[in-house]
Amino acid sequence: MAYNRRKWLLSQPTTERLAHLRELSAAERRELAQHWMLWARDEQLPPPGDWLVWLVLAGRGFGKTRTGAEWVRGIAEHDGAARIALVGASLGEARSVMVEGESGILAVSPPRRRPRFEPSLRRVVWPNGAQATLYSAGEADSLRGPQHSHAWCDEIAKWDNVSGRALHSWNNLLFGLRLGERPRVLATTTPRSVPLLTRLLADESVAVTRGRTEDNGENLPARFISEIRREFGASLLARQELDGELITDHAGALWSRALIEACREPSASSEAARIVIGVDPPVSAGGDACGIVVAALGADGLARVLADATVLKPSPERWARAVAEAADVWKADRVVAEANQGGAMVESVLRAADVNLPIRLVHARVGKSARAEPVAALYEAGRVRHAGQFAQLEDQLCGLIAGGDYHGPGRSPDRADALVWALTELMLGRRSEPRVWRDY
């Protein structure tokens, strides 16, 4: 095993290690530092078997990029006829991470065998003639037609899922794997519950490697690992982003992760015509959290979630100040706050933070899941977008069960409730019907 060979070498006394090194020529010693088969962990090396797709599903910092870059380098150096597709979430990411990144193809290649990168042609060319071409998964038709012998697809769970674009890109790639005797694909990603990843995991022919952030602990700052574990603990976010665990949907949930991914865009793609802040105040002073969510109605008629400004374990003065600051930053024209707990106190606390806040108090007459159902229907109809990623908010949305209880993280879906109030105000509020007045 490669990892065991490395452990054996490093375990030798200094004098014996130096003796081994002296037996090598100068060229061999230079190669030693970049001898991937020696230094790689076993889980970073291709699994045995006649697989078409190798899926590396692991937490951040595991070494997925290095694994992909070294796999591509090994193929290219041994096969001058190789034609490799490098598919990223965007062309910019394919270039900045897969090719030019700190663990990308150029960085891991020995100087004497380093390929030439031709940005204008989106192409990487090795001295022996092997080539790799960059593609964006957001441009599915760019993969229609070109033929390849191999492909490295990076962060497939980040690929654009709107209108099934990620699956379309993957299918076009597979149709083009027609060169060579054993076409193969490596897909590297941190898990997210999206259709493409679900499909691959359901396919028994796919070779799957799983891993955690700590697996690469020797190459990561110890403080990074301890701090990030302290911050996120055993939360759903930590299980996904650090432990590489695919967080699946609850049966009967109003929101699925695939639905949210289909509604995601990198940033707001339409100018805001109106901005509202939804607030779910804590039941008591020093309660778990005050849900604060910023949403906008775009000029295109779609609602967008812009920010999650939720504060944890706040005093009344602190959460009210957080609401006022969010309203000022986002230039909100309405703050919608639930007043079931505290009533006039909620308004007085907010007024104390900013006397000019445009406040509207709302009263919940049905349970949280029942209130959320019409808002979930807006997502199903494609009328809501998430402008960015809001992991903790989205975890709570996926924990709301139709006609049932809350099965998400924490005791209460405060963030999700704030979102429901904001989107209800923007998209489901009463609208006066136009009338024609006549004098008789």
CATH code where residue 410 lies:
3.30.420.240
Considering the chain, what is the average pLDDT of its residues?
A: 87
Edge-to-edge, what's the strand order for the sheet holding 131-136? 116-118, 123-125, 131-136, 83-88, 150-154, 184-189, 53-58, 207-211
Residue where a domain terminates, one of 174, 204, 236: 236
CA 88 from centre of chain: 13
**Residues 262, 226 within the same domain:** no
What are 365-393's pLDDT values in tens digits?
A: 888 888 999 999 999 999 999 999 898 89
Residue 178 lies in a domain: yes
Q: Report how many domains make up the chain.
A: 2
pLDDT band at 107 (very low <50, low <70, confident <90, very high): very high
172 CB-contact burial (10 Å; exposed 0-12 / middle 13-18 / buried 19+): buried
List C-alpha distances in Å: 181 to 129, 170, 307. 18, 20, 50
pLDDT at 9 over 60: yes
**Residues 190, 298 within the same domain:** no
The confidence score (pLDDT) of residue 432 equals 35
Report the predicted TM-score, pTM, of the whole model to 2 decimal places.
0.65
Q: Among 76, 140, 69, 60, which Cα is nearest to 108's?
A: 69
**Residues 119, 171 within the same domain:** yes
Phi-psi region of 206 (alpha: psi -120 to 50; beta: other; left: phi over 0): beta
Structure tokens at 152: 């490295």
What are 407-418's pLDDT values in tens digits?
A: 877 788 999 999
* Least confident range of 148-162, 263-277, 398-412: 398-412
Residue 33 lies in a domain: no
Residues with Cβ within 8 Å of 16's Cβ and at least 6 positions away in sequence, in order, are: none
Residue 439 lies in a domain: no
Which one is predicted more confidently, 231 or 64? 64
Q: Which domain holds residue 421?
A: 257-428
**Residues 227, 288 within the same domain:** no
C-beta separation of 162 from 31 below 8 A: no
The confidence score (pLDDT) of residue 431 equals 45
pLDDT at 21 over 70: no
pLDDT band at 33 (very low <50, low <70, confident <90, very high): low
The confidence score (pLDDT) of residue 23 equals 76
Which one is predicted more confidently, 363 or 8? 363
Residue where a domain terminates, one of 205, 236, 267: 236
**Residues 152, 295 within the same domain:** no
Other beta carbons within 10 Å of 81: 11
**Residues 226, 327 within the same domain:** no
**Residues 88, 142 within the same domain:** yes
**Residues 266, 197 within the same domain:** no
**Residues 223, 261 within the same domain:** no
**Residues 274, 217 within the same domain:** no
Residue where a domain terminates, one of 206, 236, 266: 236
The confidence score (pLDDT) of residue 232 equals 74
**Residues 101, 215 within the same domain:** yes
Beta strands 131-136 and 83-88, pairing class: parallel
Residue 232 lies in a domain: yes
**Biggest alpha carbon–alpha carbon distance for the chain:** 110
**Residues 213, 77 within the same domain:** yes
Residue 16 lies in a domain: no
Q: What CATH number is associated with residue 226?
A: 3.40.50.300
Highest mean pLDDT among 249-258, 279-288, 427-436: 249-258
The confidence score (pLDDT) of residue 342 equals 59
Triad 143, 108, 41: Cα angle to 5°: 100
- The β-bridge partners of 189 are 57
pLDDT band at 118 (very low <50, low <70, confident <90, very high): very high
Residue 22 lies in a domain: no
Residue 294 lies in a domain: yes
